[in-house]
Structures are given as C-alpha cells and as structure tokens.
Amino acid sequence: MKTLLRTRTATILSAGAIGLLALSGCGMDSGSGGEESGSESGSSESQPADSGESEMPDESGDSSMADSDLVGKGCSAYAEANPDGAGSVEGMGQDPVATAASNNPMLTTLTKAVSGKLNPDVDLVDTLNGDEFTVIAPVDDAFADVPKDDLDALAKDSDQLTKVLTYHVIPGQLSPDEIAGEHETVEGSKVKISGEGEDMKFDDAGLVCGGVKTANATVYMVDAVMMPKK
C-alpha cells in the first residue's frame, strides 16, 4: 500500500511539473502567437493525466507477496489457492504455529501427528504454541511418499515419533536470509540447511514455500520427511 501511494504521489507531482513547464512555454511564446501557444498548452496538460491513469494499474500488483519474505516455488500457487481466511498466508500470521498449521490444507498429516491424532501419547500442540520456533513442515505429499508400513510403525512408537517431529523444530525464529547452516533442533541433533532462495535444502528435503510467519514461528514447508541421525 505504501508503494502504491508513493507511485500515485510521484505521478501527480510529475503531471504537475509537466503542466508548469507547459504553462511556462506558453508565456514565452505569447509574443509570437498567443492562440497557437494556448492550443499547445492545452494538449500538454492533457497528456500526463492520460499517462498517469494508464501506468497506475501496472503498479498495483500482488503487494502482499511483494512485501513478504516468502521464498519457494510453491508460494505463489499456495497464495492463489488460499487468498484469504485462516489458512491464507496472512491468516496463518494471526495464530500460533500449531493452530496455524491446522488451518493449512497442505499440512493435515503433520497436524494429526503433532496433535495426538496419530498417537495419543504424542501431543506437542502446547509446546509448539508456547515459544518461538522455526518449524520445518513436511507437506501431505511428503508423508504420502513414506511407505505405509513404515508410517504405521512410526505412529505406534511414541518415542520415535516424538524424535522425528521434534527434529523438524529449531528453537528461535530464522528468516530465509539467516537459516542456511547447521542448527540444533529440539530433538537434540543438528539439521543441515544448504543453498539459498527456492533452491534451499533441509537435509535432503526440498523447499516448497518458506518464510511463512505465524504468531510465534517461521515455517518452511518441505517436500520430504526428515529423519534424525541418531
């Protein structure tokens, strides 16, 4: 919105400046034919106004995407599919991370895993909502790529499920320009984040969309479930 206001102001000032130059030129030419100069002045004043009207729509693109820190090939598609409501990028920013994830249609399996629906002994909602974190969030397709027998076994093993889930959580919030490197997770071992922009890797998992802000966390949606090294 600030960018649009600045653009409109600049257009108005530019139109005013051109109008003043046109009037100035009219005064200088008045000695050699006032009627002709007056006609030129009228045409000069009308041109910038038309030009300003045609340029302004080009400056009014998706400002919510332009002004955000989102990074990843899937961000535009997600924002287009979820333009408003609790599951939108803006809507997720209003809730703590476990709540925000539950409103995200790409994170239904992860939401079940952290909320006790896969295993009643593993409920991390209060923990995730209670402090600041960076959350690496496997999308539903990532869980679908895990063999069903392995996923079922993981769901039944509360200790291992807790380890896997907390391996996806880093204490503190890390923005896209500071997340590269090795970071100790809540699980205790370190996750390696390499690359930059849409080419970032989280261990071997690729970035779908990252830098999504919630009320207490920064979320990076990824295309694979990561496994702790110990």
pLDDT recorded at residue 73: 95
pLDDT of 16 strictly over 90: no
pLDDT recorded at residue 68: 61
Architecture of domain 74-222: Roll (2.30)
Q: What is the pTM of this model?
A: 0.72
pLDDT recorded at residue 59: 38
pLDDT above 70: percentage of residues in the chain: 70
For the chain, the structural domain boundaries read: 74-222
* Residue 187 vs residues 170, 184, 205, 218: alpha-carbon distances, Å: 9, 8, 18, 18
Give SS3 for 206.
Answer: strand
The average confidence (pLDDT) of the chain is: 80
pLDDT recorded at residue 229: 84
Across residues 87-109, what is the average pLDDT?
97
* Residue 79 vs residues 14, 26, 193, 224: alpha-carbon distances, Å: 35, 52, 24, 21
